Amino acid sequence: MRIREENLPLRLLARVITPEDLQFIRLLLAQHPDWNRNQLAFEICRTWSWNKPNGTPKDISAKQLLIRLDGSGLISLPPPRNRRSVCKSAPRTPVGEPKPKMKVVLSELLPLEVQRVTAQADRNLWRELIDRYHYLGYNNGAGAQMRYFVHSPLGIVALFGFGACAWHVKDRDRWIGWNEEQRLKFRHLVVANTRFLILPWIRCRNLASKLLSMVTSKLRDDFRDAYNYTPVLVETFVDQEHFWGTSYKAANWRFVGATQGRGRNGSKKAKLAIKSIYLYPLTRDFRFVLTGRKIPD
């Protein structure tokens, strides 16, 4: 959407941008012609106190704002210094090679251990396995990230990825009871299960629902440790053309409707697959927290 100066103030990237904000950005560009886009974005965040819930700058949103203003002809940005692709394929290693197929009962995989991915070597392996074996492949993700391996005595059996929730989902927002102000204020307390992969050589009945229960029990503590806030609800989107959502149902996730094929940012131009929406409350009082009737942790 092309932005026109006469249409300001206008909500962009979950923030109302005013004519004064535009003038500040123009002045910043004039005063610092040698700054790159990262420097400009961080200065905007610092001046506006535009921060994530954990207090770090929302520099990616600020850069997106600059790019949109530049694309609309309202400012003139310096050219990007690095023209790297958004996400390259993960390197292949012997560790990630397919294993012999195995059909086991759940007891043969016990004890299962959920490991949060933090070390660089583990991050590389997680990326490789997702890129090789998940039908969506690997991408960089959005917002706060949390990744897991699930280990068994037979080795790694599954991987999980969590990130920022979708900006606007009609059926989800209605089920929560959100108005627009509440959604913008408390959206960070909803996290998205963006990847769930049981490695394809493993066949085990009831494993998926067991894993979902185990990993969701860790999310609140891990997000609090990493990002200084505790989510209260998890969402996921199941492609109706490929899956039934059976594992999520078995793990007591709640089906609340379907997407409209607009992607996580709600683009009206997007024409994506329709997906079933499943939600899992992490606390009983999640609606009170998400609607501002109770102070979040």
pLDDT reading at 95 higher than 60: yes
Alpha helices in 72-146 (DSSP H): 120-133
The reported pTM is: 0.76
Query: Are the beta carbons of 125 and 157 closer than 8 angstroms?
Result: no
pLDDT one-digit tens code per residue, 197-230: 999 999 999 999 999 999 999 999 999 999 989 9
Q: What is the DSSP string of 58-119?
A: -HHHHHHHHHHHHHTTSS-PPPPS----S-PPPPP-GGGS----EE--GGGGPSPEEEE--S
Fold of 94-290: Aminopeptidase (3.40.630)
The region of weakest confidence among 4-8, 85-89, 94-98 is 85-89
Using the predicted structure, report yes or no on whether residue 86 has a pLDDT greater than 50. Answer: no
pLDDT(1) > 70: no
Give me the pLDDT at residue 85, please: 44
Contacts of 74 (CB under 8 A, 6+ apart): 3, 5, 22
Question: How many angstroms separate the CA atoms of 244 and 206, rounded?
Answer: 15
Closest CA to 187 of 170, 173, 202, 201: 173
Q: Collect all residues with Cβ–Cβ distance below 8 Å to 85 and sequence separation of at least 6.
A: none
Do the beta carbons of residue 61 and residue 37 sit within 8 Å? no
Locate all alpha helices (DSSP H) within 101-179, ordered by sequence.
Answer: 120-133, 170-176
In one letter, which amino acid is 183? Answer: R
Quote the pLDDT of residue 266.
55
Q: Tell me: pLDDT of 9 over 50.
A: yes
In whole angstroms, give the CA distance from residue 254 to residue 249: 7
Tokens of 58: 């929302």
- What are the residue ranges spanned by the domains of the chain? 5-71, 94-290
Radius of gyration of the chain (CA): 21
User: What is the mean predicted confidence (pLDDT) over 253-258?
Assistant: 96
- How is residue 200 annotated by DSSP? T
pLDDT score at 262: 65
pLDDT tens-digit series, residues 224-248: 999 989 999 999 999 988 888 999 9
Mean pLDDT (the chain, rounded)? 90
Distance (Å, whole) CA 5 – CA 223: 39
